[in-house]
Amino acid sequence: MAHHKSALKRIRQTETKRVHNKYYARTTRNAISKLRNETNKEEAEKSFPSVASMIDKLAKHNIIHKNKAANLKSGLALHISKL
């Protein structure tokens, strides 16, 4: 157990950020899987910008690495072009 007030505050802050990051990462993963399961090219092209934006926001806030974000967007774009 922490012995300092600052350590207790850090524990609270970390837990809050963890839950927040987990929510946005899970939401983005769901959007990615929904896009990957899309069979209609027009629908996929329509939803791609919003999914790419979500991925960029995760990378911007260091929830995922910027190279992982680039790989995800590239793979999704390739998937859409093959539809």
Q: Are 38 and 82 in contact (CB under 8 A)?
A: no
Q: Are 29 and 64 in contact (CB under 8 A)?
A: no
> Which pTM was predicted?
0.85
As given in the structure block, the two tokens for residue 45 are 């092209």
Q: Are 80 and 44 in contact (CB under 8 A)?
A: yes
Query: What pLDDT, in 10s, does the model give residues 31-63?
Result: 999 999 999 999 999 999 999 999 999 999 999
